Structure 1
């Protein structure tokens, strides 16, 4: 029986999702603090929904506890430990520049042929995503694609969506590729080796279908020209900042992947010690480089550290551009700063070419003129806040790997993921999970092929409606468990959900995945404005093709003439 508490719980579950899709920002005036901007979005919306449901007695402390500690075989804190540890290892690998160097090398192989380069980059990004996951790949290679399209004068649409789709498709292969894979395997007790064995063929089908549709969608000369305008080769060494750490990080990831197959233990027990070992290596190696002068020392007279931060990717593209295409100051390591003598105040005026805004904007902005260390004006070192700022910058100069990685770690997903688990516990407490599982059993009659298609299609849809693909994976995992399917049917449903939760990121709203939100923010920072509608139209055909191809290949495994145990 559906009670009023159950209806209220379901309403607030979807209301929290609406604010994740479209955050609401407004200003409030608070006593002593003043006017502050408040945003109801990815982190705050689910927490507010939980608070309201708790106050209205739609959920209790038991559901909150279960959402944090976990029930049965699903342990949210284990999943988050695993995810943050993997993210640290992947991001520190990216900080070394090894991923960008690989992109440089592939770009040279493509030469001046647009179609060849498009194919090579798609294959490269697919292969990298299998091992480092979608999150780190998108955060690193998106910058490369922005520079590449700016340097060649191309509209970025085809290249950006190719990288986004490739990364999110390939992440379904290994359990460590996406947090949704971890949720599915832990919740439905899927063996790690069996997971990869069952997802590899749907992945190949999705990847091929996506590439073919993208080539069809962007076949005109404007997006993927037969001949590109770049005339020089890119030097991968210009992007490779720390080869030693790059080799160490690669070995650590390979060891984690191999051990996760061999030991068949809880993956977090393998990944956490590996991440801890990588952290110790990073600290020791950075200290050695700092002590021996391999990296610049911090200069207190310049509180912002090095006066102008280096941007090797942007500089490599600028140097590779034909003379007639280079923006003003292309061979300089930073935009030219000039002071407007007639302007009031003490702000420097920036003069830079607008011909290639993406190249200019991805260069790190120069710091404002610093007050000398001996001065006692506001902002001097006598103020505690200023002393803390100096100490932070000194540590960042001493340990650049850790302090470059720290701001990029997806800590925002920690409260969000716990909130999603708690909200799903609330739905189960109010009987919705049992109702949804009954619908699934009736619609599929517990037959494998209908289950594959129902879970897959609804998985893709729910990525847009359940607070990212993480929410969709948690919800459908609980529904599949409650459906009490036979073991082979449950495994087929799990693989179908894995396909859906990964390709579901290439969907209609940015919030279909957390990485989609980060990706959209990166593009906005580089003055590439992507509307929600444009994002949906980009992904419509690739998503339809991947859904049909991936689920179709997976379903053929369970036809009468195929042994489902293979």
Structure 2
């Protein structure tokens, strides 16, 4: 998050788009590799929050018919590349903590499967999006100076240096079996201290914070006007419905704010929960409420008024605190509101659910069933891998990992004569593969997918549940099979 606030990722995105030289295939490969590196070194959440809005605006600036190929490549690489390192995904941490796997041991096992998964994904994406309307042969280059996106160049250098030192220390301390939080904690405190110092010295102004999220949007709009581009992609309404992406209109303002007007049939295509979308900036006269429709009460008026006043006072206090925090610490405030706080109560509730299943005896029953799937390490790897992918779409990948890890550690499974060391290793790494790649099957299979869809909808675009599933089914089954095969080969060589 701190690196994102410096504008370094926007800088990288613009730099790569210009180095593409106008070749659509080269630009696609460049963004594919950028998402891969970002997810591998940070996390999938960072890629989703940073690259998704950029790609929406970028597709307008270069007149892409549809950005679906770039968006699908982004979400798939975000989830696949997060499999490379211990810290790439919360599911990796859960599985490794359960089996006491060190950072170095994890990387030694998972780097090769991750590379194979990335390569397979790229090949399948090129096959599925081979039509020129998805990846055109020629893409115009935005007339933007990438360096203008660096809001805080010194902060970018500092953040990248801290990240590099953290990864080096994680590798070095793996031999001593030091817990990951002990290694990463000091670097996190160092970064927090630097942010507090920045705010205390007034080095990061609120205007700069706003610029981080709008700078690339404004510059893409400026580039669009200079090159004479229309901004929004062209095409018929029927083709837009086929793509699952509504038209993104660009109003006349200094910041690009997509505001589509969708027909009723388009709303149903994107989701039944979208009743209507209004154009930003259009004022409407207030609708008069007939007096006959107003119901008056006497007995509960005082109670309702008291409740309303308490609610108003609470909102006033929280808004006042938020404004004061934003004024005094604009950088910390901007980082705080970007943090995926929803993960905490969600994960906590899933731990409670798993404990409830364990207390009621279901974990033991599931462990007995699991022994039927593992006659040998080959069958165990494929079975646990595909079962994990399936369960991701029922429980979401984080609770699925917690649940399956508890099942595989239950005495009913561990004490089985079939649970040999190679079988246990195969189950562990198949679980990691399933939790990362299973997140690329449906929108509800991971928090990253839900955030990705939320960001797209906030920008006036949406792929939709069915279209997301359809495009992923053309890629992910082959990727999952290839990745699990590499794990089986590794087990064969080691054991």
Q: Could you state the TM-score of these two structures normalised by the residue count of structure 1?
A: 0.69
Q: Separation in 1 of the partners of 2:159 and 2:183?
A: 15
CA contact (8 A) 1:357 1:527 kept: no
Conserved? CA contact 2:5–2:335, under 8 Å: yes
| Residue 235 (structure 2) pairs with residue 325 (structure 1) | no
Residue deviations 1:206-246, cap 9 Å, x none?
11111111111111111100011x24443211221111111
Deviation per residue, 1:126-179 (Å, 9 max, x gap): 011111111112111111111111111220211111111111100011111000
Query: Within the alignment, does 1:269 sit opposite 2:172 as a pair?
Result: no
Pair 1:236-2:146 in alignment: yes
The answer to whether the 8 A contact 1:101-1:237 is kept is yes
Tell me the equivalent position of 1:208.
119
Contact 1:134–1:177 (CA<8 Å) still a contact in 2?
Answer: yes
Q: CA deviation at 1:486?
A: 2.9
Identify which of 447, 462, 478 aligns with 2:391: 462
Distance 1:285 1:357 in 2: 28
Residue aligning to 1:430: 360
Instruction: Note if 1:279 corresponds to 2:192.
Output: yes
Judged with a 3 Å threshold, the aligned counterparts in structure 2 of structure 1 residues 513 and 529 are, in CA distance, closer, same or farther, namely same
Q: State the alpha-carbon separation in 1 of the partners of residues 213 and 369 from structure 2.
A: 57
Q: Is residue 2:487 matched to residue 1:554?
A: yes
Q: Give the aligned partner of residue 421 of structure 1.
A: 351
Go from structure 1 to structure 2 and tell me whether the alpha carbon gap of 1:231 and 1:128 turns closer, same or farther (over 3 Å shift).
Answer: closer
Query: What's 2:409 paired with?
Result: 481
Task: Give CA-to-partner distance per residue, 1:230-269, whole Å, 9 cap, x none.
Answer: 2444321122111111122222222222222222311122
CA distance in 2, matches of 1:159, 1:186: 34
Q: Within 2, Cα distance between the matches of 1:515 and 1:262?
A: 30
Q: Which residue of 1 aligns with 2:91?
A: 180
SS in 2 for 1:359: coil
2:256 partner SS: helix
Change beyond 3 A, Cα 1:355–1:124: same
| Structure 1 residue 316 corresponds to structure 2 residue 219 | yes
2:258 to 334, 341, 361: 361
Residues 353 and 463 of structure 1: is their aligned pair in 2 closer, same or farther, counting only changes over 3 Å? Answer: closer
Corresponding pairs, count: 418
In 1, Cα distance between the equivalents of 2:195 and 2:438? 35
In structure 1, stretches of 5+ residues that fail to align are 1-90, 299-304, 329-351, 369-382
- Contact kept, 8 Å, 2:10 with 2:149, in 1: the verdict is yes
Instruction: Quote the residue 1:444 is aligned against.
Output: 374
CA RMSD of aligned residues (A): 2.8
**Please, which of 428, 450, 464 is the counterpart of residue 494 of structure 1?**
428
Kindly indicate whether the alpha-carbon contact (under 8 Å) linking 2:6 and 2:212 is maintained by their aligned counterparts in 1.
Answer: no
Report if aligned partners of 1:206, 1:545 keep a CA contact under 8 Å in 2.
Answer: no
Say whether the 8 Å CA contact 1:171–1:178 is kept in structure 2: yes
Structure-2 change in CA distance of 1:297 and 1:477 (3 Å):
closer
Q: Deviations over 1:335-393 (max 9, x none)?
A: xxxxxxxxxxxxxxxxx84599993239xx99x9xxxxxxxxxxxxxx99768746643
Q: Secondary structure at the residue paired with 1:313?
A: helix
1:134/1:171 contact within 8 Å kept: yes
What residue is the counterpart of 1:472 in the other structure? 400
Distance 2:438 2:253 in 1: 33
SS of corresponding position for 2:399: helix
More moved, 118-127 vs 491-500: 491-500
Q: State whether residues 461 and 504 of structure 1, in contact with CA within 8 Å, keep that contact through their aligned partners in structure 2.
A: yes
Point out the structure with the larger helix share: 2
Question: For the Cα contact (< 8 Å) 2:218–2:255, is it kept in 1?
Answer: no
Q: TM-score if structure 2 supplies the norm length?
A: 0.78
Q: 1:108 to 1:432 in 2, by over 3 A?
A: same
Per-residue deviation, 1:443: 2.5
Task: Find the aligned partners of 1:242 and 1:170 in 2 and give their Cα distance.
Answer: 27
Counting only pairs closer than 5 Å after superposition, residues 382-393 of structure 1 correspond to structure 2 as: 389=319, 392-393=322-323
CA pair 184-297 structure 1, distance change in 2 beyond 3 A: closer
Is 1:538 the counterpart of 2:468? The answer is no
Task: Render the CA deviation track for 1:173-221: whole Å, top value 9, x for unaligned.
Answer: 1111000000000112222211111111111111111111111111111
Q: How big is each residue's C-alpha offset from its partner over 1:491-543, in whole Å with a ceiling of 9 and x where there is no partner? A: 222111111111111112x1201111111111110010222111111211221
